Amino acid sequence: MKRTIRFLGLAALLAFASGTLFASGQKAQAGGERTNLRISKQYGVNYLPLIVLEGRKLIEKNAKEAGLGDVTVEWVTFGGGATANDALLSGSVDLISGGIAPFVRLWDKTNGNVKSLGTLDQSPLILNSTNPAVHKLADFTEKDKIAVPSVKVSIQALVLQVEAAKEFGKDKYDQIDHLTVALSHPDALVALTSGKSEITAHFTNEPFASVEQQNGARLVFNSYDVFGSRHSTNLVSTTTDFYNGNPKLAAVILKSLSEADEWIAGHKREAAQLYLDVTKSNEPLELLLSIISRDEIAYTTKPLNVTFFSDFLYDSGAISRKPTQNELFFPIVLGQK
Protein backbone atom coordinates (compact mmCIF):
# COMPACT_ATOMS: atom_id res chain seq x y z
CA MET A 1 0.00 0.00 0.00
CA LYS A 2 1.37 3.38 -0.95
CA ARG A 3 1.14 6.00 1.73
CA THR A 4 1.91 9.68 1.69
CA ILE A 5 3.83 10.84 4.73
CA ARG A 6 4.18 14.53 5.50
CA PHE A 7 7.39 15.56 7.12
CA LEU A 8 7.94 18.55 9.38
CA GLY A 9 11.67 18.95 8.69
CA LEU A 10 13.49 21.31 11.02
CA ALA A 11 10.34 22.13 12.93
CA ALA A 12 9.88 18.45 13.74
CA LEU A 13 13.44 18.16 14.99
CA LEU A 14 13.10 21.20 17.20
CA ALA A 15 9.83 19.93 18.63
CA PHE A 16 11.34 16.50 19.17
CA ALA A 17 14.38 17.89 20.95
CA SER A 18 12.25 20.01 23.24
CA GLY A 19 9.90 17.14 24.06
CA THR A 20 6.82 18.95 22.74
CA LEU A 21 6.17 16.81 19.67
CA PHE A 22 2.88 14.92 19.85
CA ALA A 23 1.78 12.70 16.99
CA SER A 24 -1.94 12.75 16.23
CA GLY A 25 -3.94 9.56 16.47
CA GLN A 26 -2.07 8.06 19.42
CA LYS A 27 -4.23 5.99 21.70
CA ALA A 28 -3.45 4.81 25.20
CA GLN A 29 -5.14 2.38 27.52
CA ALA A 30 -5.99 3.05 31.15
CA GLY A 31 -2.48 2.12 32.30
CA GLY A 32 -1.00 4.74 30.00
CA GLU A 33 0.61 2.46 27.40
CA ARG A 34 -0.18 2.76 23.73
CA THR A 35 -2.76 0.56 22.01
CA ASN A 36 -1.84 1.47 18.46
CA LEU A 37 1.55 1.29 16.76
CA ARG A 38 2.94 2.52 13.45
CA ILE A 39 6.08 0.69 12.36
CA SER A 40 8.11 1.11 9.18
CA LYS A 41 10.06 -1.47 7.26
CA GLN A 42 12.04 -1.43 4.03
CA TYR A 43 12.65 -3.76 1.10
CA GLY A 44 14.38 -7.12 1.16
CA VAL A 45 14.82 -10.28 3.22
CA ASN A 46 16.83 -8.28 5.78
CA TYR A 47 13.41 -7.26 7.08
CA LEU A 48 12.04 -10.81 7.25
CA PRO A 49 11.59 -10.69 11.07
CA LEU A 50 9.30 -7.68 10.67
CA ILE A 51 7.42 -9.41 7.88
CA VAL A 52 6.89 -12.35 10.23
CA LEU A 53 5.62 -9.96 12.91
CA GLU A 54 3.18 -8.53 10.39
CA GLY A 55 2.06 -11.79 8.81
CA ARG A 56 1.72 -13.77 12.05
CA LYS A 57 0.51 -10.80 14.15
CA LEU A 58 3.01 -11.60 16.89
CA ILE A 59 2.96 -8.17 18.52
CA GLU A 60 -0.82 -8.30 18.81
CA LYS A 61 -0.68 -11.80 20.29
CA ASN A 62 2.08 -11.08 22.79
CA ALA A 63 0.57 -7.74 23.82
CA LYS A 64 -2.69 -9.42 24.74
CA GLU A 65 -0.84 -12.14 26.67
CA ALA A 66 1.05 -9.40 28.54
CA GLY A 67 -2.21 -7.83 29.64
CA LEU A 68 -2.00 -4.85 27.29
CA GLY A 69 -5.31 -5.60 25.62
CA ASP A 70 -5.97 -5.21 21.90
CA VAL A 71 -3.01 -3.48 20.27
CA THR A 72 -3.26 -2.59 16.59
CA VAL A 73 -0.20 -2.34 14.35
CA GLU A 74 -0.01 -0.36 11.14
CA TRP A 75 2.88 -1.15 8.77
CA VAL A 76 4.40 1.25 6.23
CA THR A 77 7.27 0.69 3.80
CA PHE A 78 9.97 3.26 3.03
CA GLY A 79 12.63 3.16 0.33
CA GLY A 80 15.57 4.37 2.42
CA GLY A 81 16.92 5.35 5.81
CA ALA A 82 16.71 9.11 5.29
CA THR A 83 12.95 8.89 4.75
CA ALA A 84 12.55 6.65 7.80
CA ASN A 85 14.53 9.06 9.99
CA ASP A 86 12.35 11.98 8.93
CA ALA A 87 9.20 9.96 9.63
CA LEU A 88 10.28 9.15 13.18
CA LEU A 89 11.22 12.76 13.91
CA SER A 90 7.91 14.03 12.55
CA GLY A 91 5.90 11.54 14.63
CA SER A 92 4.46 9.89 11.52
CA VAL A 93 5.62 6.50 12.83
CA ASP A 94 6.52 5.14 16.27
CA LEU A 95 9.29 2.74 15.34
CA ILE A 96 11.49 2.60 12.25
CA SER A 97 13.75 -0.01 10.77
CA GLY A 98 16.76 0.46 8.55
CA GLY A 99 20.50 0.28 8.19
CA ILE A 100 22.88 1.04 11.04
CA ALA A 101 24.44 4.07 9.34
CA PRO A 102 21.32 6.27 9.13
CA PHE A 103 20.35 5.13 12.63
CA VAL A 104 23.70 6.25 14.09
CA ARG A 105 23.31 9.63 12.38
CA LEU A 106 19.88 9.98 14.01
CA TRP A 107 21.24 8.94 17.41
CA ASP A 108 23.83 11.69 17.14
CA LYS A 109 21.39 14.28 15.76
CA THR A 110 18.99 13.74 18.68
CA ASN A 111 21.70 13.60 21.37
CA GLY A 112 20.97 9.95 22.05
CA ASN A 113 17.20 10.36 22.25
CA VAL A 114 16.76 7.70 19.57
CA LYS A 115 18.08 4.22 20.35
CA SER A 116 17.68 0.72 19.00
CA LEU A 117 15.21 -1.85 20.28
CA GLY A 118 17.15 -4.69 18.67
CA THR A 119 18.91 -5.68 15.47
CA LEU A 120 17.16 -7.52 12.66
CA ASP A 121 19.89 -9.39 10.86
CA GLN A 122 23.47 -10.14 10.06
CA SER A 123 23.78 -10.13 6.29
CA PRO A 124 26.27 -8.84 3.73
CA LEU A 125 25.39 -5.84 1.58
CA ILE A 126 26.23 -6.58 -2.05
CA LEU A 127 27.60 -4.31 -4.78
CA ASN A 128 26.65 -5.55 -8.24
CA SER A 129 27.65 -4.06 -11.58
CA THR A 130 26.79 -4.66 -15.22
CA ASN A 131 29.98 -2.92 -16.36
CA PRO A 132 32.46 -5.72 -17.19
CA ALA A 133 35.40 -3.37 -16.62
CA VAL A 134 34.52 -2.79 -12.96
CA HIS A 135 36.32 -5.00 -10.43
CA LYS A 136 36.89 -2.40 -7.70
CA LEU A 137 35.83 1.18 -6.95
CA ALA A 138 38.79 2.63 -8.83
CA ASP A 139 37.39 1.11 -12.03
CA PHE A 140 34.24 3.23 -11.98
CA THR A 141 34.27 6.22 -14.34
CA GLU A 142 32.09 9.29 -14.82
CA LYS A 143 29.91 7.19 -17.13
CA ASP A 144 28.86 4.96 -14.21
CA LYS A 145 26.07 5.58 -11.72
CA ILE A 146 25.68 3.53 -8.53
CA ALA A 147 22.20 3.13 -7.03
CA VAL A 148 21.86 3.29 -3.23
CA PRO A 149 18.72 3.75 -1.09
CA SER A 150 19.83 7.19 0.18
CA VAL A 151 22.80 9.23 -1.05
CA LYS A 152 25.44 9.69 1.70
CA VAL A 153 23.03 8.59 4.46
CA SER A 154 22.26 4.92 3.75
CA ILE A 155 24.31 2.05 5.12
CA GLN A 156 25.28 1.19 1.54
CA ALA A 157 26.59 4.72 0.97
CA LEU A 158 28.69 4.43 4.13
CA VAL A 159 30.21 1.10 3.09
CA LEU A 160 31.16 2.67 -0.24
CA GLN A 161 32.95 5.39 1.70
CA VAL A 162 34.78 2.86 3.86
CA GLU A 163 35.98 1.01 0.77
CA ALA A 164 36.91 4.29 -0.95
CA ALA A 165 39.04 5.23 2.06
CA LYS A 166 40.85 1.91 1.71
CA GLU A 167 41.40 2.30 -2.04
CA PHE A 168 42.06 6.02 -2.38
CA GLY A 169 43.17 7.11 1.09
CA LYS A 170 41.36 8.21 4.24
CA ASP A 171 41.01 11.81 3.10
CA LYS A 172 39.32 10.68 -0.12
CA TYR A 173 36.58 8.57 1.45
CA ASP A 174 33.95 10.51 -0.51
CA GLN A 175 35.74 10.08 -3.83
CA ILE A 176 32.82 8.39 -5.59
CA ASP A 177 29.89 9.91 -3.71
CA HIS A 178 29.04 11.96 -6.80
CA LEU A 179 28.42 8.73 -8.72
CA THR A 180 25.67 7.57 -6.36
CA VAL A 181 21.97 7.95 -7.13
CA ALA A 182 19.09 7.47 -4.68
CA LEU A 183 16.72 4.68 -5.75
CA SER A 184 14.68 2.12 -3.83
CA HIS A 185 15.94 -1.43 -4.26
CA PRO A 186 13.06 -2.54 -6.51
CA ASP A 187 13.49 0.50 -8.77
CA ALA A 188 17.26 0.08 -8.88
CA LEU A 189 16.93 -3.59 -9.85
CA VAL A 190 14.76 -2.63 -12.82
CA ALA A 191 17.12 0.17 -13.82
CA LEU A 192 20.23 -2.02 -13.59
CA THR A 193 18.86 -5.00 -15.50
CA SER A 194 16.91 -3.10 -18.15
CA GLY A 195 19.98 -1.97 -20.04
CA LYS A 196 18.20 1.33 -20.69
CA SER A 197 19.38 3.34 -17.71
CA GLU A 198 22.45 5.25 -16.60
CA ILE A 199 22.61 2.92 -13.60
CA THR A 200 25.52 0.50 -14.02
CA ALA A 201 25.80 -0.63 -10.39
CA HIS A 202 23.56 -1.24 -7.41
CA PHE A 203 24.61 -1.61 -3.78
CA THR A 204 21.81 -3.74 -2.43
CA ASN A 205 20.62 -6.62 -0.30
CA GLU A 206 18.82 -9.87 -1.00
CA PRO A 207 16.83 -11.00 -2.91
CA PHE A 208 17.60 -8.12 -5.27
CA ALA A 209 21.31 -9.00 -5.51
CA SER A 210 20.65 -12.59 -6.59
CA VAL A 211 17.99 -11.58 -9.11
CA GLU A 212 20.40 -9.06 -10.63
CA GLN A 213 23.15 -11.64 -10.86
CA GLN A 214 20.77 -14.00 -12.63
CA ASN A 215 20.15 -11.23 -15.16
CA GLY A 216 23.69 -10.30 -16.14
CA ALA A 217 25.06 -8.34 -13.16
CA ARG A 218 28.27 -9.40 -11.44
CA LEU A 219 29.44 -9.17 -7.84
CA VAL A 220 32.09 -6.50 -7.20
CA PHE A 221 32.35 -6.92 -3.41
CA ASN A 222 30.22 -7.19 -0.30
CA SER A 223 30.31 -5.48 3.08
CA TYR A 224 31.73 -8.49 4.90
CA ASP A 225 34.72 -8.22 2.53
CA VAL A 226 35.09 -4.50 3.27
CA PHE A 227 35.10 -4.88 7.06
CA GLY A 228 36.73 -8.31 7.15
CA SER A 229 34.02 -9.72 9.39
CA ARG A 230 30.31 -10.33 9.86
CA HIS A 231 28.23 -7.48 11.22
CA SER A 232 24.71 -6.50 12.12
CA THR A 233 23.15 -4.72 9.17
CA ASN A 234 19.68 -3.44 10.05
CA LEU A 235 17.85 -2.67 13.26
CA VAL A 236 14.67 -1.30 14.81
CA SER A 237 14.78 2.02 16.64
CA THR A 238 12.49 4.41 18.46
CA THR A 239 12.58 7.46 20.72
CA THR A 240 13.41 7.40 24.41
CA ASP A 241 10.01 9.04 25.00
CA PHE A 242 8.24 6.07 23.42
CA TYR A 243 10.43 3.55 25.25
CA ASN A 244 10.05 5.19 28.66
CA GLY A 245 6.33 5.74 28.19
CA ASN A 246 5.63 2.19 27.02
CA PRO A 247 8.02 -0.17 28.86
CA LYS A 248 5.71 -3.20 28.70
CA LEU A 249 4.98 -2.65 25.02
CA ALA A 250 8.68 -2.20 24.27
CA ALA A 251 9.34 -5.54 25.96
CA VAL A 252 6.57 -7.12 23.90
CA ILE A 253 8.10 -5.83 20.68
CA LEU A 254 11.53 -7.22 21.55
CA LYS A 255 10.01 -10.54 22.62
CA SER A 256 8.07 -10.69 19.36
CA LEU A 257 11.21 -10.06 17.33
CA SER A 258 13.01 -12.87 19.16
CA GLU A 259 10.02 -15.15 18.58
CA ALA A 260 10.08 -14.29 14.88
CA ASP A 261 13.79 -15.13 14.70
CA GLU A 262 13.20 -18.52 16.31
CA TRP A 263 10.28 -19.25 13.99
CA ILE A 264 12.33 -18.37 10.90
CA ALA A 265 15.15 -20.69 12.03
CA GLY A 266 12.75 -23.63 12.33
CA HIS A 267 10.41 -22.83 9.42
CA LYS A 268 12.55 -21.50 6.58
CA ARG A 269 10.25 -22.62 3.75
CA GLU A 270 7.18 -21.22 5.49
CA ALA A 271 9.09 -17.99 6.17
CA ALA A 272 10.04 -17.67 2.51
CA GLN A 273 6.41 -18.19 1.50
CA LEU A 274 5.25 -15.66 4.08
CA TYR A 275 7.68 -13.12 2.61
CA LEU A 276 6.06 -13.60 -0.79
CA ASP A 277 2.55 -13.43 0.64
CA VAL A 278 3.09 -10.26 2.67
CA THR A 279 5.29 -8.31 0.24
CA LYS A 280 3.46 -9.47 -2.92
CA SER A 281 6.90 -10.02 -4.41
CA ASN A 282 7.38 -12.39 -7.35
CA GLU A 283 10.76 -14.04 -6.72
CA PRO A 284 10.76 -17.85 -6.96
CA LEU A 285 10.12 -19.52 -3.62
CA GLU A 286 13.19 -21.73 -4.00
CA LEU A 287 15.42 -18.70 -4.54
CA LEU A 288 14.17 -17.06 -1.35
CA LEU A 289 14.55 -20.31 0.56
CA SER A 290 18.15 -20.68 -0.62
CA ILE A 291 18.94 -17.09 0.39
CA ILE A 292 17.60 -17.24 3.95
CA SER A 293 19.31 -20.62 4.41
CA ARG A 294 22.80 -19.26 3.69
CA ASP A 295 25.37 -19.39 6.48
CA GLU A 296 26.26 -15.71 6.07
CA ILE A 297 22.71 -14.62 6.89
CA ALA A 298 21.30 -14.77 10.40
CA TYR A 299 18.31 -13.22 12.13
CA THR A 300 18.97 -12.05 15.67
CA THR A 301 18.19 -9.10 17.95
CA LYS A 302 21.71 -9.13 19.44
CA PRO A 303 24.09 -6.50 17.99
CA LEU A 304 27.38 -7.49 16.35
CA ASN A 305 30.16 -5.10 15.30
CA VAL A 306 27.86 -2.09 15.14
CA THR A 307 30.82 0.18 15.86
CA PHE A 308 32.28 -0.68 12.45
CA PHE A 309 29.83 1.94 11.20
CA SER A 310 29.74 4.43 14.08
CA ASP A 311 33.54 4.59 14.31
CA PHE A 312 33.84 5.48 10.63
CA LEU A 313 31.08 8.08 10.87
CA TYR A 314 32.91 9.71 13.76
CA ASP A 315 36.34 9.53 12.14
CA SER A 316 34.99 11.09 8.94
CA GLY A 317 33.29 13.91 10.85
CA ALA A 318 29.73 12.84 10.04
CA ILE A 319 28.76 12.58 13.73
CA SER A 320 29.93 14.60 16.71
CA ARG A 321 30.29 11.83 19.29
CA LYS A 322 31.82 8.35 19.12
CA PRO A 323 29.43 5.91 20.81
CA THR A 324 30.13 2.53 22.29
CA GLN A 325 27.90 -0.23 21.00
CA ASN A 326 25.96 -0.33 24.27
CA GLU A 327 25.16 3.38 24.10
CA LEU A 328 23.19 2.82 20.90
CA PHE A 329 20.76 0.27 22.39
CA PHE A 330 18.08 0.35 25.04
CA PRO A 331 19.09 -1.61 28.18
CA ILE A 332 16.49 -4.31 27.57
CA VAL A 333 18.30 -5.36 24.38
CA LEU A 334 21.55 -5.85 26.26
CA GLY A 335 19.96 -8.06 28.88
CA GLN A 336 19.86 -5.32 31.50
CA LYS A 337 16.85 -4.28 33.52
Portion of the chain with pLDDT greater than 70, in percent: 90
* pLDDT tens, residue by residue, 139-175: 999 999 999 999 999 999 999 999 999 999 999 999 9
Q: Residue 22: pLDDT above 50?
A: no
Same domain, 239 and 104: yes
Residue 80 binned pLDDT confidence (cut-offs 50, 70, 90): confident
| Same-domain pairing of 118 and 165 | no
Q: Which of 205, 227, 249 delimits the end of a domain? A: 227
Task: Give the mean pLDDT of 33-37.
Answer: 93
pLDDT band at 311 (very low <50, low <70, confident <90, very high): very high
What is the distance between the alpha carbons of residues 150 and 78, in angstroms, rounded to a whole number?
11
CA distance 108 to 319: 6
Q: Does one domain contain both 114 and 37?
A: yes
Residues 103 and 130 in one domain: no
CA distance 265 to 76: 25
Q: Does 159 reside within a domain?
A: yes
Range of the domain at 297: 9-122+232-334
**What is the predicted pLDDT for the residue at 334?**
87
Are 237 and 322 within one domain? Answer: yes
Q: Are residues 130 and 203 in the same domain?
A: yes
Tell me the three state secondary structure of residue 308: helix
**Residue 207: is the preceding peptide bond cis (ω within 30°)?**
yes
Residue 255 lies in a domain: yes
Average pLDDT over residues 120-133: 98
Q: Indicate whether 6 pLDDT > 70.
A: no
Indicate if 254 and 313 belong to the same structural domain. yes
Q: Judge if 118 and 130 occupy the same domain.
A: no
Judge whether residue 59 has pLDDT over 50. Answer: yes
Given a cut of 70, is residue 273 above it in pLDDT?
yes
* pLDDT at residue number 25: 52
In terms of domains, do 174 and 202 share one?
Answer: yes
Q: Domain boundary at 208, 227, 246, which?
A: 227
In contact, 202 and 266? CB cutoff 8 Å: no
In this structure, is residue 15 part of a structural domain?
Answer: yes
Q: Using CA of residue 78, residue 83, residue 84, residue 87, what is the dihedral sign?
A: negative
Q: What is the arithmetic mean of pLDDT over 224-228?
A: 97
Task: Give residue 309's pLDDT.
Answer: 97
Residue 144 domain-assigned (yes or no): yes
User: Is residue 4 domain-resident?
Assistant: no
User: Quick one: pLDDT at residue 211?
Assistant: 97
Quote the mean pLDDT of the chain.
91
CATH number for the domain spanning 193: value is: 3.40.190.10
